[in-house]
Amino acid sequence: MIKPSVEKNVRISNLIDIRKLTNSAFVLRFEKHDLSFTAGQHIALGIPDIIDTREYSIYSAENDEAMEVLIKEVEEGFMSPKFGKLVVGQKVKVMKPVGYFTINKDYLQSKRFVFIASGTGIAPFHSIIKSYPDINYSILHGIRTSEEAYERNEYTAGKYIACTSRDKNGDFHGRVTDYLQQNSIDTQAIYYLCGNYEMIDEAYGILEKAGVKPENLKAEVYF
The pLDDT, as a whole number, for residue 204 is 97
Structural domains of the chain ordered from first start:
10-95 (2.40.30.10), 105-221 (3.40.50.80)
Q: What is the pTM of this model?
A: 0.94
The secondary structure of the chain in percent helix, strand, coil, rounded to multiples of 5, reads 25, 35, 45
Measured distance CA(119)–CA(142) in Å, rounded: 6
The pLDDT, as a whole number, for residue 75 is 87
Residue by residue, pLDDT tens for the chain (223 residues) are 233 334 678 999 999 999 999 999 999 999 999 999 999 999 999 999 999 999 999 999 999 999 999 999 998 899 999 999 999 999 999 999 999 999 999 999 999 999 999 999 999 999 999 999 999 999 999 999 999 999 999 999 999 999 999 999 999 999 999 999 999 999 999 999 999 999 999 999 999 999 999 999 999 997 5
The pLDDT, as a whole number, for residue 5 is 39
Task: Give all strands (DSSP E) within the chain, no chain letters.
Answer: 10-20, 25-31, 42-46, 53-57, 66-72, 91-95, 112-118, 136-143, 160-164, 172-173, 190-195, 217-221
CB 67 within 8 A of CB 123: no
Q: Is 115 helix (H, G, I), strand (E, B) or coil?
A: strand
Beta bridge partners of 44: 55
The pLDDT, as a whole number, for residue 223 is 58
Measured distance CA(180)–CA(194) in Å, rounded: 15
The pLDDT, as a whole number, for residue 8 is 73
Q: How many other CB atoms sit within 10 Å of the CB of residue 157?
A: 7
Best CA proximity match to 43, nearest among 6, 84, 91, 98: 98
